[in-house]
């Protein structure tokens, strides 16, 4: 059995009010935890695989293609491959999400 505490894993992203940590990375998939400070924004980008976002804490505003909507903690949002997507924390407190990519891009 393998285990790790997410705060002990070195971040793969630590800039512009965001800290991203790769929790799981295997050929079959990838899981990334991202913590957003208030007003932090992950710029629009495309991935070659489908992505699922899970809002752990706060409210996440996602833009997928031309559609933009805010989602509370506990929500899972699907983003199809090859469609630009962006994430913003428009709130006044920390927002945390999990990003699940299957298979690993």
| Cβ-proximal residues to 64 (8 Å cutoff; 6+ apart), any chain | 77, 79, 80, 83, 84, 85
Q: What is the pLDDT of residues 9-18, one digit of tens each?
A: 999 999 999 9
**Topology given in CATH for the domain delimited by 6-102:** Jelly Rolls (2.60.120)
Mean pLDDT (whole number) for 88-93 = 97
Our measurement of the distance from residue 95's CA atom to the centroid of its chain's CA atoms, rounded to an integer in Å, reads 10
Under DSSP, the state recorded for 7 is G
Is the pTM of the predicted complex or chain greater than 0.85?
A: yes
Give the pLDDT confidence score for residue 105 in this predicted structure. 85
How does residue 3 score in pLDDT terms, banded at 50, 70 and 90?
very high
Q: What is the pLDDT of residues 56-68, one digit of tens each?
A: 999 999 999 999 9
Q: What is the pLDDT of residues 48-58, one digit of tens each?
A: 999 999 999 99
Q: 99: buried, middle or exposed (CB in 10 Å: 19+, 13-18, 0-12)?
A: buried
Q: What percent of the chain has pLDDT over 90?
A: 97
Judge whether 60 and 97 are in contact, CB under 8 Å: yes
Neighbour order of strands in the sheet with 41-45: 41-45, 85-88, 59-64, 67-72
């Amino acid at each position: 059995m393998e285990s790790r505490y997410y705060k002990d894993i070195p971040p793969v992203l630590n800039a512009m009010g965001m800290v991203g940590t790769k929790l799981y990375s295997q050929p079959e998939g990838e899981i990334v935890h991202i913590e957003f400070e208030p007003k932090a924004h992950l710029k629009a980008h495309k991935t070659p695989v489908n992505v699922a976002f899970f809002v752990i804490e706060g409210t996440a505003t996602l833009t997928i293609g031309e559609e933009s909507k805010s989602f509370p903690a506990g929500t899972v949002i699907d983003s199809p491959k090859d469609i630009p997507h962006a994430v913003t924390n428009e709130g006044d407190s920390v927002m945390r999400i999990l990003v699940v990519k299957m298979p690993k891009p």
